[in-house]
Structure 1
Amino acid sequence: MSVAIPENMEEIIMKQAMLKEHGEDVTTDDLVKQSVLDALQAFIDQELDGHYDEVSWDQEQLVVHDLDHGEIARIKPQHASFIVDFKDNAQLVLTKLEEVARKTIGSR
């Protein structure tokens, strides 16, 4: 995964501070949400050896769409939201997302 994607709350806080230095005021929750989406996108891209499928948010769920914009996967958080899950155990969230990417792409 790219070093630009925070993998734990410590890295989220560091990225938030860096962005603030550059005049961007972003909430912790927004950074977590973006990091979760970016992580799944990176895992999907890795499985496909390129950027073909697109990951997006649908309320509290992540959705993976193929090139034809067809939905191929919908991922729900373990608890109320991925933000809660990430704050509770970021490594578990990343592991789950990596498994989902592998299964989603491997089943095609």
Structure 2
Amino acid sequence: MSVEIPENMEDVAMQLAQHKVRGEQVDETTVIQNAVRDILQAFFDEALEGHYDDVNWDENDLVVTDVMGNEAGRVHPQSDSFVNDFKTDADSLIERLEDETARIVGGR
């Protein structure tokens, strides 16, 4: 995973501080949402050995679309949001995202 992608709340705090130093207005929720999406994207890029699928938000879900723009899979949060899942147990969420990647890639 990239050093730029926060993997826990400590990393989120550091990234918030970096944004503040640069004069950028970013809140904790946005940093976490970007991190969760980027983590799942990184897993797909690794599993497919390149960037073929795109991960984007659809309300509270993360939707994976293939090269043709078709939905290849959808990942739902365990609680009411991925932000809360990340805050509660980021390690468990990351593990679940990795499992979901394997499920979606393997189901093709």
2:4 partner letter: A
Partner of 2:85 in structure 1? 85
Question: Aligned-pair distance for 1:105?
Answer: 1.0
1:7 partner letter: E
Partner of 1:99 in structure 2? 99
Cα distance between partner residues in 1 of 2:2 and 2:107: 25
Q: How does 1:44-83 map to 2 (within 5 A)?
A: 44-83=44-83
2:54 partner letter: E
Matched, 1:20 2:26: no
> Residues 25-68 of structure 1: CA distance to partner in whole angstroms, max 9, x if unpaired?
10001000000000000000000000000000000000000000
> Residues 50-97 of structure 1: CA distance to partner in whole angstroms, max 9, x if unpaired?
000000000000000000000010110000000000000000110000
Identical aligned pairs, as a percentage?
44
**TM-score, length of structure 2 as denominator length:** 0.98
Report the secondary structure of 1:51's partner residue.
coil
The alignment of Structure 1 onto Structure 2 pairs a total of residues equal to 108
Cα distance between partner residues in 2 of 1:20 and 1:42: 26
Cα distance between partner residues in 1 of 2:96 and 2:5: 16
Cα distance between partner residues in 1 of 2:50 and 2:96: 21
Partner of 2:9 in structure 1? 9
Structure 1 unaligned runs (5+)?
Answer: none
Cα distance between partner residues in 2 of 1:107 and 1:80: 26
Cα distance between partner residues in 2 of 1:71 and 1:11: 31
1:40 partner letter: L
Structure 2 unaligned runs (5+)?
Answer: none
After superposition, the CA RMSD in angstroms is 0.6
